[in-house]
Amino acid sequence: MTFWAYDNSCVYATYCRINGGEWKTYHDWPAVFVISEDGEHMIEFYSIDNVGNKEDIKTSYRNIDKTPPETSLEWEVFKEDWKWHIRFILNATDETSGMDNWVEFYINDALQDEFEVLHWPFEFIIPWCRVFKTVTFKFVVHDMAGNSAIELVNGSDIKSYSSSQSSSTQQTQNIWFLRWFDRFPLLSRLLGWFIW
């Protein structure tokens, strides 16, 4: 934090303390001090001029948060109406400043979409296809102080997908999957292939 002090008779000193601690004296301006610990801090300060006039003590509160959110990510592959899907379950907490209510979803570092989170944990379902075994899914969350946390899943680590579908079932799924691509144009350009 930075303090400036002005007075017609010139300022003799500025005094400040943090969380009721020891008063520190500053004779040069701007007066600069650093708060590095996470949490809410109470800063008190005042100045005295060269003839001994003292201003009232002023108080300011600052919330410091340099710690990223704590996150966890689980996933499962399931079949519904003859189609395979993957469900991601993302949880995030931040005790100091609280969570921002948005999740960024990436595939191979290409942003696909942003989702507003009404409550945690956040569940996200997409259709599943073999091509996803070659990509990386990434979820990015932020706390209210701007700190970020990232959860990554390599498609090759997702083992539940069945490789024994018939050609007709595969073709039906491919048509449905390509329609889903319309929602994520960046993903479509990224993959740049045909599933047939």
Write down the domain spans for the chain. Answer: 2-64, 70-191
* 2-64 and 70-191 in the same fold: yes
Confidence (pLDDT) at 160: 52
Q: Are 31 and 37 in contact, with CB atoms under 8 Å apart?
A: no
Tell me the whole-structure pTM to 2 decimals: 0.63
Looking at residue 22, its pLDDT comes to 92
pLDDT at residue 185, rounded to an integer: 57
3-class SS of residue 173: helix
Which segments in the chain show pLDDT lower than 70?
A: 6-9, 160-196
- Beta-ladder partners of 58: 45
* pLDDT the model gives residue 195: 37
Fold adopted by 2-64 = Immunoglobulin-like (2.60.40)
CATH code, residues 70-191:
2.60.40
Question: Contact at 8 Å (CB) between 61 and 40?
Answer: yes
CA distances for 130 relative to 55, 163, 172, 193, angstroms: 71, 8, 14, 12
pLDDT value of residue 196 = 31
Q: What does the pLDDT read at residue 81?
A: 84
